């Protein structure tokens, strides 16, 4: 659950970007990092296991809202780190690789997330790499059907060039904070 301190009037939310290896999780964070005002990027860390980006979203209803974004490695041998991070998540972005050849990887990642995460937790699916040639990718609706997901809660994206990255973060932020409204 997001941390709320009513005495200091601060809310801190942990958002985790999960998904198969090389689907674009770190790319999302690096894009957000590059676009954020320098004074609002309170900390950043890039490593093979884990990327961390802390953002200050300013005051909302008199509460200072901070986000901690994690991108966990999709490599199988780093799964212990991944599970530890997911235990503290307040919301999750599943970054799917829209390439048709990666359907099995997406499905494996999706099932792993279902196994490791409380289903009541806010979740957004990002259908990344939608910029690739049509013949090489699945449309968001088709990929959602493969995953068994609701296509209405997904965001098409091209994280490398920033398309859909802000929209994904914005959507998940709203979903996570709705429990405080």
Partner 1 sequence: MRTVEPWVERPLTTFLEESSARIAAVLTPSGQVVAQHGFAAAPDLMAAASLAAGIMAATSELSRVIGAPPLRELAYEGHDVGIYLAAIELPGRRWLGLVAYGKDSSLGLVQLFFGELVKDLGRAAPPKPFALAGPAALDPDFEAELDRNLRALFGR
Stretch that binds partner 1, among 54-62, 112-120, 131-139, 146-154 (CB under 8 A): 54-62
User: Which has the closest alpha carbon to 96: 169, 149, 170?
Assistant: 149
Regarding beta strands 50-60 and 63-72, do their DSSP bridges make them parallel or antiparallel, or are they unpaired? antiparallel
Give the per-residue contact string, 60-99, with partner 1 (x = CB under 8 A; - = no). xx-x-x------------------x---x-----------
By CB under 8 A, tell whether 40 contacts partner 1: yes
Task: Report 6-35 residues binding partner 1 (CB under 8 A).
Answer: 6-8, 11, 32, 35
By CB under 8 A, tell whether 5 contacts partner 1: yes
Closer residue to partner 1, CB minimum distance, 88 or 148: 88
By CB under 8 A, tell whether 43 contacts partner 1: no
The answer to whether the beta carbons of residues 52 and 69 sit under 8 Å apart is: yes
Closer residue to partner 1, CB minimum distance, 5 or 145: 5
By CB under 8 A, tell whether 1 contacts partner 1: yes
Residues pairing with 68 in the sheet: 14, 54
Of 13, 55, 72, 159, the one binding partner 1 (CB under 8 A) is: 55
- Angle CA(127)–CA(133)–CA(138) in degrees, nearest 5? 40
Rounded Cα–Cα distance for residues 24 and 13 (Å): 21
The dihedral through the CA atoms of 32, 33, 38, 40 has a sign that is positive
Rounded Cα–Cα distance for residues 138 and 2 (Å): 34
By CB under 8 A, tell whether 36 contacts partner 1: yes
Token look-up 């894009």 returns 31
Residues that bind partner 1 (CB under 8 A): 1, 3-8, 11, 32, 35-37, 40, 55-61, 63, 65, 84, 88, 166, 169-170, 173-174, 177, 180-181
């Amino acid at each position: 659950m997001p941390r709320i301190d009513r005495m200091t009037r601060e809310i801190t939310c942990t958002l985790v970007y999960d998904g198969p290896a090389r689907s674009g999780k770190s790319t999302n964070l690096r894009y957000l990092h590059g676009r954020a005002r320098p004074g609002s990027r309170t900390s950043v860390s890039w490593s093979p296991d884990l990327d961390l980006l802390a953002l200050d979203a300013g005051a909302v209803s008199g509460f200072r809202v901070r986000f901690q974004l994690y991108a966990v490695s999709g490599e199988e041998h780093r799964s212990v780190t991944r599970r530890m991070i997911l235990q503290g998540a307040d919301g999750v972005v599943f970054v799917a690789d829209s390439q048709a050849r990666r359907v099995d990887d997406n499905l494996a990642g999706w099932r792993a997330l279902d196994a490791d995460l409380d289903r009541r937790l806010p979740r957004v699916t990002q259908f990344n790499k939608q910029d690739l040639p049509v013949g090489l990718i699945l449309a968001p609706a088709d990929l959602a059907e493969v995953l068994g997901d609701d296509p209405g809660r997904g965001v098409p994206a091209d994280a490398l060039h920033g398309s859909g990255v802000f929209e994904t973060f914005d959507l998940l932020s709203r979903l996570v904070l709705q429990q405080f409204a």
